[in-house]
Structure 1
């Protein structure tokens, strides 16, 4: 049994606070195929209430997190005119260590984002 797991969170770097209420979907990627394996929403701390990929479901491989940020940017008055510059933010990454905790956060502003492998 694997001990690895995956977590995420979203920080609104423009406002300097956690981003609450952002839907997040996790896909397993194989070539050009995507298979949805989890979905959740960020809480008041910008985190998910549980790992988006817990230990009992963890497998190494290629994955993609998609953050649906458009409604959040609209609700916080940061959206600007339609079409939004950022509406969905996909982050594709690989997980090779079956025993590791992978943390893939999103640092968000209305016109840019970044990510990194956290802890």
Structure 2
């Protein structure tokens, strides 16, 4: 059997809070809560979920080496960015020029992610 992606693991200082942010952001739900692990996903049978685990005492100080790209329809993009900001995300500058086809945001613990334009708007 070939390997499949199961979870994307995100280190967190406040597991329940960060898991709730991502569950709300993706319109997913909390699937599992344990002492040192919170899992969110679309449902229990979804092929991939997010797993939040303790980050330890150090704080994030540099840009993520891996990040998520989120997308939606062209009509919803600005309202979805506003919704994410209302949930606790913030805009961040990681060196973008302003001409990119994405907006860079960070979750409440500073993990960067992008909201990209739908593929249909990128094709010329």
Higher Cα Rg: structure 1 or 2?
Answer: 2
Considering the TM-score relative to the shorter chain, is it more than 0.5? no
TM-score normalized by the length of structure 2: 0.30
Greater length-normalized contact order (CA 8 Å, ≥ 6 residues apart):
1
Normalized per residue, which structure has more strand? Answer: 1
TM-score normalized by the length of structure 1: 0.31
